[in-house]
Amino acid sequence: MLGVGIGYRPELRDQQLKFMDRIDWFELIADRYVRSVPESFERALPMLDTHPLVPHALEMSIGTAGPLDVRYCEEVAELTRLVRAPFTSDHLCLTQAGGMELGQLTPLPFTEAGVRRCAAKTRQVQEIVGLPFLLENITYPFAFRSPMGEAEFITRVVTDADCGLLLDLANLFINSQNHRYDPYAFLDALPLERVIQVHLAGGERRAGQWIDSHSQRVDAHPEVWSLLEYLVQRTRVRAILIERDQNFPEEFQEMLQDIQRAQEILHGAHRAPVRRPVEDAAPLWPERPTEALPVDAPEFQSALARVLVEAGLGRRLVANPQVVGEELGLQPEQTEALVAVGAEALTTFAHDLASKRLMLVSKMAPASCRWLQARKLWHELAHRFVDEYAPRHSPEFVNRTVRDAFWFLQLLERTAEQRPELRAPLADIARFERVQLELSSKAVPVQSALDFRRAYESRPAPSLEDVLAARPVTGPHIRVERFECDVTGLVRRINEGQAVEDASPGNPTVVLFTKAPGFRNVRHLAINERTRRLLELCDGTRTTAELASLLSPATGALPFVEALRRLYELNALTFAAAAS
């Protein structure tokens, strides 16, 4: 029995630490700690001393036709063991197909083949993890013509896989409203004895539809509280999570109120039996098709992924299904199944995919994106990015968010080359953020920064004689770049929200970037040309005295000693012993 927790989010960390006594446990989004730099976990790990931590994965893609990503599952398993979690979880959906990483929980058809595939993969995940594994129900903005309903599909998968159920009551409510069915009847049809954890969240309405945005209090749709009361009177729930991923409240008390209400319900503060309300307007189940269409083949999933990520392909499909279906490698019946989803549903989902990618890019490259917005160029460049960079799997990047940020900055640098009027300062801003991203997202610079810091902390401050005799050496955690403007000041003003004029050429700066051994921390410091040249020569082959003689024989070694000591304190270099 874990009780009621919330997701650990860096944006809420200070408030979460302040009210630890009111929170029972924390959920970790596993993808923020696996396939990332080794230090990513260091901020959350201390919480393990007082609170259970439970990883929740996003990218197992249980429903994808094709082999399971065993390496990813092993990394989630290692994280789960590291935090000594009682279980872990992912979603009953697909997130990748045909080499495309959608980055969004995409619905599955409810078929016999789907049951077999999802159950087999779930059993494989449980073997890898070695702990109970839970599957979560998702919202689905569109549905395929399928021979069974969602409740039956979920029941069959978790029963055949012999796994637990993470029941997202907000998702259940949203689906019941958008697809017009009775949520209580849906609950009654599930194997409630398999429910281990519950998710609660607040969504919002857009264009007459509920959206699972995780942006509001649970009270945004109070019926979710009634569904929770109904559930806990029928089965033993071990854990409840309040989800909040955006629109974070200024007053944390708002989230504490949701936690307290969930705790009261979980622990039986509301004793009155909850009866299912009469829903005259809603049927027990969504209407099922009289004839199912073939939607389980890998080529169908690949075609769906392309329609969702390639600009204009969905509209072309609806306008000329035969031609586009052949282009996608589909049989006529499969094309009919894809068209049956509906152009509006496909277009809306594709828009949501693109919006999510761009939102994550704006977090990774904030100064570049804010500069584009201030110059009214964001819309143009965002569309170009989505059109030109389909989210294909790229193993050279640690994760898809880093990949998209690199690609977007690459697009900006190319745009600056093609359009001279944007070159100053767009090229500098984009390169500034790209260097920081490279140093903070790749394992080699991170490990180098840690090694240099350990060397610094394990030895006494070097004497003058030590520095003169040592061979200064830098590591892959530093970069020196020359810019055409005062880019450090410009980026700082942009990120502080100040109105800034375009920086004109004529004030070039040289910047030293140093990956510090802290969490995603890259320091930057403007340096002069002499320091730049000094760093270039710090390759461990020359002593300080030799460097001084090479760079400036007339001034002697003392000015270089002080510069090297300062760089040593900044973790930019270390001193190797002189060769014997």
- Check whether residue 185 and residue 307 sit in a common domain: no
pTM value is 0.89
Q: What mean pLDDT comes out for the span 85-99?
A: 95
Percent of the chain with pLDDT over 90: 63
Q: Which residue would you say has higher pLDDT here, 397 or 433?
A: 433
Q: Is residue 380 part of a domain?
A: no
Q: What mean pLDDT comes out for the span 222-251?
A: 88
> 158: Cβ–Cβ under 8 A, 6 or more apart, which residues?
122, 135, 164, 165, 191, 194
The domain containing residue 206 runs over which residues?
3-266
Number of domains in the chain: 2
Q: What mean pLDDT comes out for the span 306-332?
A: 90
- Check whether residue 247 and residue 351 sit in a common domain: no
Q: Which residue would you say has higher pLDDT here, 344 or 97?
A: 97
Angstrom distances, CA of residue 5 to CA of 49, 139, 194, 487: 16, 22, 20, 42
Question: Of the candidates 333, 364, 395, which is a domain's last residue?
Answer: 364
Q: What mean pLDDT comes out for the span 139-167?
A: 93
Flag the least confident range among 8-17, 19-28, 253-262, 432-441: 8-17
Q: Is residue 303 part of a domain?
A: yes
- Check whether residue 161 and residue 298 sit in a common domain: no
The b/e string for 201-224 (b: 16+ C-beta within 10 A; e otherwise) is: bbbeeeeeebbbbbbbbbebbebb
pLDDT band of residue 292 (cuts 50, 70, 90) is: low
Q: Is residue 516 part of a domain?
A: no
pLDDT band of residue 289 (cuts 50, 70, 90) is: low
Q: Is residue 466 part of a domain?
A: no
- Check whether residue 55 and residue 192 sit in a common domain: yes
Q: Is residue 499 part of a domain?
A: no
- Check whether residue 237 and residue 102 sit in a common domain: yes
Kindly tell me if the per-residue pLDDT of 505 is higher than 60: no
- Check whether residue 249 and residue 305 sit in a common domain: no
- Check whether residue 233 and residue 315 sit in a common domain: no
Percent of the chain with pLDDT over 70: 92
Model pLDDT, residue 238: 95
pLDDT band of residue 77 (cuts 50, 70, 90) is: very high
- Check whether residue 141 and residue 199 sit in a common domain: yes
CATH number at residue 83: 3.20.20.150
- Tokens describing residue 281: 């307007």
- Tokens describing residue 338: 């894809």
- Check whether residue 129 and residue 45 sit in a common domain: yes
- Check whether residue 119 and residue 17 sit in a common domain: yes
Kindly tell me if the per-residue pLDDT of 580 is higher than 50: no
d(CA 113, CA 298): 12
Mean residue pLDDT of the chain comes to 89
- Tokens describing residue 183: 């949520």
> Per-residue pLDDT tens for 515-552?
998 777 899 999 999 899 999 999 999 999 899 888 88
Q: Is residue 12 part of a domain?
A: yes
Rounded to 5°, angle at Cα 535 from 533 and 541: 105
Rounded to 5°, angle at Cα 209 from 208 and 214: 130
Model pLDDT, residue 264: 92
- Check whether residue 158 and residue 252 sit in a common domain: yes
d(CA 95, CA 62): 8
- Check whether residue 204 and residue 320 sit in a common domain: no
Question: Of the candidates 336, 364, 392, which is a domain's last residue?
Answer: 364
Flag the least confident range among 112-116, 155-159, 468-472, 555-559: 555-559
Q: What mean pLDDT comes out for the span 26-31?
A: 94
Q: What mean pLDDT comes out for the span 483-512?
A: 83
pLDDT band of residue 95 (cuts 50, 70, 90) is: very high
